Structure 1
Amino acid sequence: MEAINWIIIGVLFVIAFVGLVYPIIPSVLFIAAGFVLYGFLFSFEPFSWLFWSIQILFVILLFTADYAANLIGVKKYGGSKAGIWGSTIGLLVGPFVIPVLGILIGPFLGAVIAEVAVHRKNLKEAAKVGFGSVVGFVSSVVTKGIIQAIMIIYFFFVVL
């Protein structure tokens, strides 16, 4: 039975990493669910106030990294708030419209369409902003992946 419990916790952590490329999946909630499930199935004793404080700081860092990477990626390439919103919408819709490549095409097209529609930028300038949104998304995935891995490694350090 103990192995099944660990498998379920592991599946929650894997789903959190899937959420890196499918942003509709709330990664941090699956990580937290793994922690809480461990507490119910085994014990909450290893989780001190220090553990929860560090994990909360990592959650804040996750949200900050996600927002900052997209913002910096779009702004660095000449984008506006419209480009950021378009990129975000494209990021959420893209994977469902084009299953595999939509994760990269969605933010690109979202930013391009938003910049052309709202700020009347020419296609070349808008494509540059779209490229910036993809750069921001990829850097966000890498950064959040590292943070999530640290959160889970710290969890295992505390409970094992």
Structure 2
Amino acid sequence: MDILCILIGLLFMLVGIAGSILPVIPGTPLSWLGLIVLYLAPSLEFDWTFIIITGIVGIGIYIMDYIIPAMGTKRFGGSEAGAWGTTIGLIIGILAPIPFGILIGPFVGALVGELAFNKTEGPQAFKAALGSFFGFLASTFLKFFATLVYLGLFIYKVIVNFDLLF
């Protein structure tokens, strides 16, 4: 049962890392769920403090994922159309067979959102698209970093408790 918990927890960790980049998958909560599954292993004593602290951090990052891109968009004079364009552009950028589509897509999506749906003029639309794009990058970096930290904690807990688990 311990090995099964480790494998399922590791699967949650890996999907969480992917979800930190892909907008549809909630990366940080899935990685945190991987930590919970690890502690469900019968041989490990459940560490409430560890789970609560990592859970609070995970929820905070999950909430910030929605706030940071909006802050970037607003700071550079963008609109909700630019923020939506960033997300749609990311999805298209991931699916498009072009190099760096995951980076180009959000910027182009924000620009199109500002130009087409908000009727923003050229230079202001470009500035708003940059803000939306920078907000997206900051948010993605934060989620990616958090999921890597969770993976590191997961591996650390497995190594430290190796003799209990196996």
Query: TM > 0.5 between the two?
Result: yes
What residue is the counterpart of 1:45 in the other structure?
Answer: 45
> Structure 1 counterpart of 2:34, which letter?
G
TM-score by length of 2: 0.75
CA deviations on 1:102-142 (whole Å, 9 max, x unpaired) are 22222212211111122211233212222222211111122
Cα 1:36–1:43 change in 2 (3 A) is farther
| Paired residue type of 1:86 | G
* CA contact 2:13–2:150 (8 Å) conserved in 1: no
Greater shift, 51-60 or 107-116, is seen at 51-60
Q: Deviations over 1:50-107 (max 9, x none)?
A: 2332122112211232122201221122101221122222223321234652222222
CA distance 1:54–1:100, change in 2 (3 Å): farther
* Structure 2 Cα separation of the partners of residues 140 and 111 of structure 1: 15
Percent identity for Structure 1 against Structure 2: 31
- Whole-angstrom CA distance in 1 between matches of 2:31 and 2:144: 12
Instruction: For 1:44-83, list aligned pairs within 5 A.
Output: 45-48=45-48, 50-83=49-82
Deviates more, 1:103-112 or 1:7-16: 7-16
TM-score of the two chains, using structure 1 as the length reference: 0.78
Q: 1: CA distance between counterparts of 2:115 and 2:8?
A: 46
- Distance (Å, rounded) in 1 between the aligned partners of 2:97 and 2:77: 26
Task: Give the unaligned 5+ runs of structure 1.
Answer: none
The residue aligned with 1:85 is 84
Which residue does the alignment assign to 1:134? 133
Letter in 1 for 2:134: V
How many corresponding residue pairs? 159
Rounded to whole Å, the distance in 2 between the matches of 1:60 and 1:11 is 20
